[in-house]
Amino acid sequence: MSSGDMLGFFTAQSALIPSAKGPQYTLSRGGSNPIELIPALAFDKTAIEYADFLGQMPDYYDGGGVTVDLVWYCVINTGDVVWAAAFRRMEAEVEDFDSLHSYAFNGATDAAPDPAGSITHFGGISFTDGADMDSVAAGETFVLRVQRTATDGSDNLNNDALLWSIALKES
């Protein structure tokens, strides 16, 4: 396996919204005729919100680091968004799923797309192998939790950040 190889792909439609502090599910409207409707998760500008994505690490994953790439959209072009992500390993017949689990987030900041109304491909959240990604191994089920850390002082985008998709890649 080599750097940049795809390990997983998630759309806004595959998001599992937590019982509290979740983004609103919405549709981004294109300008063509007929109008494109792109599913999106609207992460608020004032509160930390989370979305979960259930995945399985491919058998060909060789245990190296991974990068979480986000495709997102915004209607304004000034300000920065602080995104963060974390893994929860779901090791078969080991972890009790309904027991308390804390997430260890890695974060990164991305500038609003320019021009306003365009999308951005942000490949900025990196994880080293092992404990940094909850030791997820090849063939194992995991939860990828993504958040907008709107309360971080570096997050100054005065609008919702609309997450369209996530690509998980070998780093």
Q: What is the pLDDT of residues 72-109, one digit of tens each?
A: 999 999 999 999 999 999 887 677 667 767 899 999 99
pLDDT at 4: 82
Residue 86 and residue 103 in contact, taking contact as beta carbons nearer than 8 Å: yes
pLDDT at 2: 65
Distance between CA atoms of 111 and 70, rounded to whole angstroms? 12
CATH code assigned at 166: 2.60.120.260
Contacts of 157 (CB under 8 A, 6+ apart): 45, 74, 76, 78, 79, 80, 81, 112
Decide if 1 is inside a domain: no
Instruction: For residue 42, give Cα distances in angstroms to 39, 71, 97, 117, 141.
Output: 10, 13, 27, 14, 26
Is residue 38 pLDDT above 70, yes or no? yes
Least confident range of 3-7, 24-28, 30-34, 62-66: 3-7
Mean pLDDT over each residue of the chain, to the nearest integer = 92
pLDDT at 101: 75
Decide if 34 is inside a domain: yes
Is residue 1 pLDDT above 70, yes or no? no
**Number of separate domains in the chain:** 1
Structure tokens of 115? 């021009």
Q: Which domain holds residue 122?
A: 6-170
Residue 70 and residue 146 in contact, taking contact as beta carbons nearer than 8 Å: yes
Neighbouring-strand partners of residue 145: 52, 86
pTM of the model: 0.93
Mean pLDDT value across residues 56-69 = 94
